[in-house]
Chains A and B, each alone.
Chain A
Amino acid sequence: MMKQPDDDKLRKANLRVAIILGAIALLAMAYSFVFLPKVLSGGLVP
């Protein structure tokens, strides 16, 4: 929750959340190249 609209701490917190979310997005991209092909070549399905 926000204390004051114009606040350096808030700005840093925003950047932190944005970077974490961006990292998740990059991981999801990697997932398409690495993980799914493995599943499909018979890894997961009995």
Chain B
Amino acid sequence: MSVATAHDDHHDSHDHGPPKGWQRWVYSTNHKDIGTMYLFFALFMLFFGGAMAMYIRAELFMPGVQLANPDFYNNMVTDHALVMVFGMVMPAAAGMANWMIPLMIGAPDMALPRLNNLSFWLLPAAALMLILSILAPYLFPGSGGPVNTGWTLLPPLSIQNGIGMDFTIFAIHMLGISSILASINIVTTILNMRAPGMTMMKMPLFVWAWFFTALLLIAVMPVLAGAVTMLLFDRHFGTSFFDAAGGGDPILFQHLFWFFGHPEVYVLLLPSIGVLGLVIPTFARKPLFGYKALVYGMGVLAVLGMVVWAHHQYTIGMSLFATNYFMIGTILISIPVGLMLMNFIFTMWRGSMTFETPMLFGIAIILMFSFAGVTGVMLAVVPADMQYHDTMFVVAHFHYALIPGAVFGLYAGVFYWLPKWTGHMYDERLGKIFFWWTTISFNITFFPQHFSGLAGMPRRIVDYSIQYTEFNMISSIGGFLFGLSHLLFLYIIIQTIRGGKKAPDKPWEGSQIGTPGLEWTLPSPPPFHSFTQAPVVK
């Protein structure tokens, strides 16, 4: 595929560089700057949420309550999840979308640049709200206990919580508005802003992945906003949506939450699948196997994902028919997911592979995400799930799904695009050390949790009986190593931003195979205003 820049008489109105000082960032409508801010915000939240995880692992190192009271522990469990899901993975993926989608499809910027600015600047405000919700019991003594429900915020426990719960609800409102606006922007950009000749079926897989992600977000995020609003009304305005005493139903909240919550899992996964769809063909030097199948597979996954929510709550006592329906629907999800993973394996098949850091992450994702899929099918089987429900087995399963599936995908993306973003090559040796360090320590952390979960250890407990000690000790040691490895990640990023070998326009030799984006036609780093004249894709 080749690209010709449209010959047009040059007018200078867009030639100025970025404004100077703080105004460049606060008033920014530039997709690259906003993307950069998203990515740094996510990086900050990664360490914030990671610190909470370190506390959790330290508390669980041995039986007995050592570090803080049980409510503080449950508060940390809650906010670790909220920060990692809403503060880290989603902004990081949105940052990549902001940076890469306009570059890939040859657009000068996002379709609605000022909306873009708003969607980012809602995030720090929401983060502040979340931090306030943690501090509330200490800032406002007598305002009730901390948020101790877990990220599902299930009533009636969430009705008992103190003012921190209200801050959490407002934080979720703001995070929700932010991602709905960002999604509207992304869908509009993809539909309207493609360069002449860039048909939908020529788009890089990452753009397709974000297209489905954004549609999912638009459909389900408002449901969560509705659910937490009902919670707020129950807490303060005397309604009884979730209170049986007033004719409500505590289970209604679970249905609403998971109607959002399950598609949310795919919101976290799909952008990383998109990254994988670029990384694997690049380093296997071979076009993506089954591009169309992957696109349609993601579509099927998005639709199926919206109709199987109740598999998170098999134990609530649904009718036999409903339970059977949700079980079979859930098991069927293995079809699109299996197809995607097989397509990635067949992309490597008969290729010519080299193993740069993004590719190492890509291979690890395929392997470990398959494993998460297998435990996922085990969990989908209702009678067995009644045994696994709310044990550490579930914790192990979803960390295997979300750390390789979402977070490692983002790491692969970071290493893949760092040369393009910064104009410098990262240190390949350090990148590989980081890969092995995280992958091995991740497995040490979460693999033993399958066993402690099967043996019966519940999740969200501050203290456990001594039969689970060994597995938890292994897990904690792995967890500390996993946490530590991210300091190396931070170092690599800073080092690459500050300098290093000059990156060529096309740093990866295989990046032009299959359905490449237009980002490689630009210099590294791309100019502040790119594609001011529409490129033409032949």
Contacts and interface: CB of A to CB of B under 8 A. Distances in A.
- A and B held together in a complex: yes
Interface of A: 1-6, 10, 13-15, 17-18, 21-22, 24-26, 28-33, 36-37, 40, 45-46
A46 B319 contact: yes
A3 to B, nearest CB: 7
B511 interface: no
B contact residues, range: 35 or more
B108 A10 contact: no
A10 B321 contact: no
A21 B252 contact: no
Contacts of B252: 36-37, 40
A31 B322 CA distance: 20
Contacts of A32: 222-223, 225-227, 230, 256, 259
A24 B194 contact: no
Given A5-B531, A17-B192, A21-B187, A28 B218 contact: yes
Contact of B198 (A1, A6, A21): A1
Contact of B223 (A10, A14, A21, A31): A31
A40 B199 CA distance: 43
Given A2-B534, A29-B223, A29-B225, 18 more contacts: A1-B195, A1-B199, A5-B531, A14-B193, A15-B112, A21-B183, A21-B188, A24-B219, A25-B184, A26-B222, A28-B221, A29-B226, A32-B227, A32-B230, A32-B256, A40-B252, A45-B321, A46-B319
B331 interface: no
A5 B429 CA distance: 41
B147 interface: no
The A interface, classified by DSSP as helix, strand, loop or mixed, is helix
Nearest to A10: B192
B323 to A, nearest CB: 10
Interface in B96-126: 106-108, 111-112, 115
B42 to A, nearest CB: 23
B111 A18 contact: yes
B255 A22 contact: no
A40 B249 contact: yes
A15 B113 CA distance: 12
Interface string B230-256: 100000000001000000010110011
Contacts of B255: 36, 40
A6 B168 CA distance: 41
Contacts of A30: 226
A14 B192 CA distance: 7
Given A26-B222, A40-B255, A14 B198 contact: no
B180 interface: yes
Contacts of B461: none
Nearest to B177: A25
A15 B191 CA distance: 12
B515 interface: no
A45 B226 CA distance: 23
Interface in B137-179: none
A5 B532 contact: yes
Interface in B304-347: 318-319, 321-322
27 contacts: A2-B106, A2-B194, A3-B534, A10-B192, A10-B193, A17-B111, A17-B187, A18-B188, A22-B180, A25-B219, A25-B221, A26-B222, A28-B223, A29-B222, A29-B226, A31-B222, A31-B223, A32-B230, A32-B259, A36-B252, A37-B241, A40-B249, A40-B252, A40-B255, A45-B318, A45-B321, A45-B322
A34 to B, nearest CB: 10
Contacts of A10: 192-193
Nearest to B200: A1
Nearest to B318: A45
Contacts of B196: 1-3
A31 B167 CA distance: 24
Given A2-B192, A5-B534, A36 B251 contact: no
A13 B192 contact: yes
Contacts of A28: 218-223
Contact of A17 (B191, B226, B251, B322): B191
Contacts of A45: 318-319, 321-322
B261 to A, nearest CB: 13
Contacts of B532: 5
B432 to A, nearest CB: 40
A3 B94 CA distance: 26
Closest 10 CB pairs of A and B: A32-B226, A29-B222, A28-B222, A5-B108, A14-B111, A32-B223, A17-B188, A21-B184, A45-B322, A1-B194
A36 B256 contact: yes
A28 B255 CA distance: 14
B185 interface: yes
B533 to A, nearest CB: 7
Given A24-B218, A25-B180, A28-B220, A40 B187 contact: no
A33 B111 contact: no
A3 B535 CA distance: 10
Given A26-B222, A45-B322, A33 B230 contact: yes
Contacts of B256: 32, 36
A10 B111 CA distance: 9
A44 B428 CA distance: 56
A37 B426 CA distance: 53
Given A5-B107, A24-B219, A36-B256, A18 B226 contact: no
